[in-house]
A and B are shown apart, each in its own frame.
Chain A
Amino acid sequence: MPVDAPIEKESAITSIPAVERTSEPPRLQVRERLRELVAHREVLVNLVRKELKVKYTASVLGAVWSLLNPVMFLAVFSLVVFVLDNNVPDFPVFLLSGLLAWNFLANALQAGSRSVIDNANLVKKMAFPREILPLSAVGVALFDFLLQSVVLLLFIAVYPGHGFQLPELALYPLAIVTMLVFATALTFWVASLNVRYRDVGHLLNLALLVWFWATPIVYQGWLVQEKLQTVRFLGLDVWALYLLNPVAVIVLGFQRALYSIVVPGPGQEPILPPMRLGTLTGLLLAVLAVSVLLLFLAWRSFFHRSGDFAEEL
């Protein structure tokens, strides 16, 4: 018999660390909070599953609706491009490679801004990390993104001359990660703000409209660069200012990775801004760095406010 065998069995509960609830608004401790989120990952999985199911199972076409969006966009813009006689080879691949990233951002933000409000019943009655609500909006958007990527892959397969180019394709994972971090940061932000100011939803829709056209999705990035690079505003390069739009950089990254046609042929006008791959990688990394910082700030502010969600809804 071991000498140090405990004489009395210690109460099971005293070995568990105590949870403390105070009047202080919660302060974000990233590592501790991450552990809590990981412990509740099942909630995230279940909420995403729930959202997808609610979104798609009651409709006849189901997930086909998600695919219809890029296809309709493609149809409309192909018509516009045909009318304008705008010469972009493999236009569907060009459009979709940028549009899917945009759709992801827009879906995440729109669903995310409603995520806390729409789940008021859960927030008021159940205790769980509130971050899971905007995260599940991002998760649903990611699911749609992957689904729509199948359409894009089909188009890439359909255009025989259009294969993946290896060094360019390496940008794809970087672009996806940057897109995820950036969208998550903004989603946290709009989700918590929308609880207090219901204007956020309306404002967001307007902002997304402007933002969409400020991003080279349906028009070629080169056209913007061509017109802007000679313009100076307050001594600043306006093309550089345009690239301050993080989504523009992310979309350019996706287009370079998947569409890859910078100049269609000798003597022809470029389609994508003819910057070096290293430059674009650098830009993406810069956006990623800013997004990580933004994510930290947005998360901290969300967490800080989340203690009062149950009361404010």
Chain B
Amino acid sequence: MTTAIAIDGISKMFRLYRERPTSLKQRLLVSRSRSEEFWALRDVSFDIAEGSSLGLVGHNGSGKTTLLKCIAGILRPTAGTIRYRGRLAALLELGAGFHPDLTGRENVYLNASFLGLSRRQTDRIYDDVVAFAELEEFMDNQVKFYSSGMLVRLGFAVAVHVDPEVLLIDEVLAVGDESFQRRCLDRIRRFQSEGRTIVLVTHALDVVRQVCDEAVMLDHGRVQAIGAPDDVVRTLRHRLLSDDPTFVPEEGSREVEISGVVLESDGGLRDTVYSGEGMTITVDLRADVAVPDAAVSFAVVSASSNLHVLEGKTSRLGVSLGPIDGKKRVRFRIPPAPWASGTYFVSVGLDSPDGRLFHVQTQHYPLTVPDVHDVAQALVVEPTVEVEDL
């Protein structure tokens, strides 16, 4: 596979001045020692394959935007190199590159020229841009009269129509109404199918899980996790939870172990369930030395509210596993439920009847409930019919 962006040992240091010397006098009088070094990025290295979509996640101040700006060439790294090929479009801020006194139409041309389009090339995409942004009536109004939602729409519309090989997006999709967000996601999917490379910075973990092939988590400027979105999202979740001193990601005596967990919706989707759909949680166990009995439990936690939305335990459900020697499989069937869309995490635990902990994996398995509007799904219901003589 070809590498679209190679990031090699990137570090970025900012000098934080308590009072920045911006005049000659200050520069001459104030000693240099009044500045502090702040490392926004430290030795970040990873490759982004051509045609892949990478999600950059991390808490505020973890260096995501700085990295994006280094890739875009707005900031110069303090150390390291970045190589990429092709036309690169960066969408770093809503309405960046828009001038408030110009009309929407003029701003489309201005913005497209920043992204490397000629006037004639812009003429060709202009109608599509306007249609995508749904701003037909406002194109001759000055942009200063636009709402922030209108600005994002226009900015995003230009960025995706300039035909970039590499698209950098920084947390801009959070604005805009639902229908626009949906169209953005559709557009991003089309981008993916056309083999373009996307780097997406976002706090919306379900977007990362739905859209990206790979994710990188930054923490204090270092790469903390890199890999499949599910794994990275889990690491991020665990880091968030690790502020709680009682949080332990995995523990137990391991006399019996959880050897695998599968979340599957009735529609056959992995790690995803639609609102109104039922699902199955399958837990595989393994005991190298026989134990007389064990109880399996699970809990589903909402990432946004931190609430346990659903819990279950074999013993409480009146099921006994019996002696375990070797492998065993437990299935929890969850009936159709009105899931709220968002990201959830599933914890799975194993303990003995007298309360000894065999094995627990806290919030280890991410589960996504997509926005119902997101994808038109076949409705998994069987219609019934009645005939009546009148």
Interaction A to B: yes
B110 within 8 A of A: yes
Using a CB-CB cutoff of 8 Å, which residues 93-123 of chain B contact chain A? 93, 96-97, 99, 101-102, 106, 109-110, 113-114, 116-119
Given known A42-B119, A50-B102, contact A127–B73 (CB-CB < 8 A): yes
B356 within 8 A of A: no
Asked if A14 contacts B2 (CB within 8 A), the reply is yes
Report A-chain residues with C-beta under 8 Å of the C-beta of B80: 22-23
Q: With the chains together, A211 CA to B334 CA distance in Å?
A: 84
- Scan B177-207; emit 1 where CB is below 8 A from any A CB, else 0: 0000000000000000000000000000000
A308 within 8 A of B: yes
Asked if B83 contacts A20 (CB within 8 A), the reply is yes
Q: With the chains together, A204 CA to B339 CA distance in Å?
A: 66
A214 within 8 A of B: no
Asked if A19 contacts B85 (CB within 8 A), the reply is yes
Asked if B22 contacts A197 (CB within 8 A), the reply is yes
Q: With the chains together, A241 CA to B4 CA distance in Å?
A: 59
Report B-chain residues with C-beta under 8 Å of the C-beta of A42: 113, 117-119
B77 within 8 A of A: yes
Asked if B84 contacts A18 (CB within 8 A), the reply is yes
A199 within 8 A of B: yes
Asked if B97 contacts A23 (CB within 8 A), the reply is no
Asked if A126 contacts B96 (CB within 8 A), the reply is yes
Asked if A13 contacts B85 (CB within 8 A), the reply is yes
Q: With the chains together, A12 CA to B194 CA distance in Å?
A: 11
A16 within 8 A of B: yes
B244 to chain A, nearest CB (A): 36
A60 to chain B, nearest CB (A): 16
Report B-chain residues with C-beta under 8 Å of the C-beta of A43: 110, 113-114
A197 to chain B, nearest CB (A): 5
B64 to chain A, nearest CB (A): 15
Given known A125-B96, A198-B23, contact A13–B77 (CB-CB < 8 A): no
Q: Nearest residue in B to A124 (C-beta to C-beta)? A: B74
A115 to chain B, nearest CB (A): 14
Given known A23-B80, A50-B110, contact A16–B97 (CB-CB < 8 A): no
B232 to chain A, nearest CB (A): 25
A15 to chain B, nearest CB (A): 9
B380 within 8 A of A: no
Asked if A199 contacts B23 (CB within 8 A), the reply is yes
Report A-chain residues with C-beta under 8 Å of the C-beta of B160: none
Task: Indicate which residue in A45, A50, A311 contacts B99 across the interface (CB closer than 8 Å).
Answer: A50
Q: Nearest residue in B to A202 (C-beta to C-beta)? A: B23
- Scan A22-37; emit 1 where CB is below 8 A from any B CB, else 0: 1101100000000000
A310 to chain B, nearest CB (A): 5
Report A-chain residues with C-beta under 8 Å of the C-beta of B72: 127
Asked if B22 contacts A39 (CB within 8 A), the reply is no
B26 to chain A, nearest CB (A): 9
Asked if A21 contacts B77 (CB within 8 A), the reply is yes
Q: With the chains together, A16 CA to B84 CA distance in Å?
A: 10
- Scan A146-163; emit 1 where CB is below 8 A from any B CB, else 0: 000000000000000000
Task: Indicate which residue in A14, A22, A25, A46 contacts B113 across the interface (CB closer than 8 Å).
Answer: A46
27 CB contacts below 8 A, A to B, read: A13-B2, A13-B86, A18-B83, A20-B83, A21-B71, A23-B78, A23-B79, A23-B81, A40-B113, A42-B117, A42-B119, A46-B109, A46-B113, A50-B99, A53-B101, A122-B114, A124-B74, A125-B74, A125-B92, A127-B72, A197-B27, A199-B24, A199-B25, A307-B76, A308-B76, A310-B69, A311-B14
Given known A11-B50, A42-B113, A46-B110, contact A16–B85 (CB-CB < 8 A): yes
B165 within 8 A of A: yes
Asked if B102 contacts A53 (CB within 8 A), the reply is yes
Report A-chain residues with C-beta under 8 Å of the C-beta of B75: 310-311
B125 within 8 A of A: no
Task: Indicate which residue in A23, A53, A125 contacts B93 across the interface (CB closer than 8 Å).
Answer: A125
A232 within 8 A of B: no
Q: With the chains together, A124 CA to B74 CA distance in Å?
A: 7
B148 to chain A, nearest CB (A): 15
Asked if A125 contacts B50 (CB within 8 A), the reply is no
Given known A25-B76, A39-B116, A42-B113, contact A126–B97 (CB-CB < 8 A): yes
